[in-house]
Amino acid sequence: MARKYYSLAVVALLLIPVTWVLGGTLAIAINPEIALGHPHYGRNFWLLNELKQLLLIGSDLLVCVLWLVCCGFLLKAKARSYRWLPLAVFGPFGLTVLAMLGDRSPGAGDVYRRFLGRMKLPLRVVYEAVLFVGIWTVAYQVMVFLRELLIWRQSVVTRVPIDVIVEQQNASGGMYAFSEGNEVLFLVALFYLMWPVCVNLAGWLGTALVASRRG
């Protein structure tokens, strides 16, 4: 059951960018000016504009719900009280705290929980600090890599020099900074959820390899 809830937490998190992009794409596709020249232009323009705003607000609200669901399933997977759920309002920082909470119902094959259980408190504090810095650093570097990859792709498709594209983005720095900041925050949350999964997978593969060699 713990693995089921943990998987649902990961799914809820992965649905967040899908919801955001889909909602934004649908909202952009709605152009209230298409009502121009038609009867009842004023009413139709107002309806289309309201629909556009509704999609934007609705996608934002759905993202918030998915985030709460993600944090709730994470607590459920750890058999922790929902009294910790208000930490979700702090975004990835709150999820970091939730991820650090001890698991009260660890599975028999949970390598990561056994790994944490062997640590004394001082070593655990150092480990969590190193993990925190490492995940934020990797998330930032991944964002930079994706940004450069997208710039290169845009340059190839449009035949515009990379320097020109970079200058255009710098002219709209606030918008790109906001987008990239959200990207880093999402990656931090994703890496925190996937880190125990990766450690468990490595442990299971190592055990299987040793067993095969002994066999």
What pLDDT score was predicted for residue 204? 81
Check if the beta carbon of residue 78 is closer than 8 Å to that of residue 104.
yes
Cβ contact 108:119 at 8 Å: no
pTM: 0.84
CA distances from 34 to 22, 44, 45, 111 (A): 21, 9, 8, 58
Phi and psi (nearest 5°) for 107? -75, 160
At a CB cut-off of 8 Å and minimum separation 6, what does 48 contact? Answer: 30, 31, 32, 34, 35
pLDDT at position 93? 93
Give long-range contacts, CB 8 A cutoff, 24+ apart: 144-150: 146/183, 147/180
pLDDT in tens, 57-96: 999 999 999 999 999 999 998 889 999 999 999 999 999 9
DSSP 8-state code for residue 160: -
Cβ(180)–Cβ(147) under 8 Å? yes
Say yes or no to pLDDT of 172 above 90: no
pLDDT above 90 (res 49): no
Tens of pLDDT, residues 110-164: 788 888 888 888 999 999 999 999 999 999 999 999 888 988 888 888 888 888 7
Nearest to 72 by CA among 11, 146, 140, 19: 11
**pLDDT category of residue 48 using cuts at 50, 70 and 90:** confident
Tell me the domain boundaries of the chain. 1-100, 106-215
How far apart are the C-alpha atoms of 41 and 29, rounded to whole Å? 19
Residues in the chain: 215
Reference 176, options 141, 155, 151; nearest CA is: 151
Q: Which residue has the higher pLDDT, 111 or 42?
A: 111
Does residue 92 contact residue 190 with C-beta atoms inside 8 Å? no
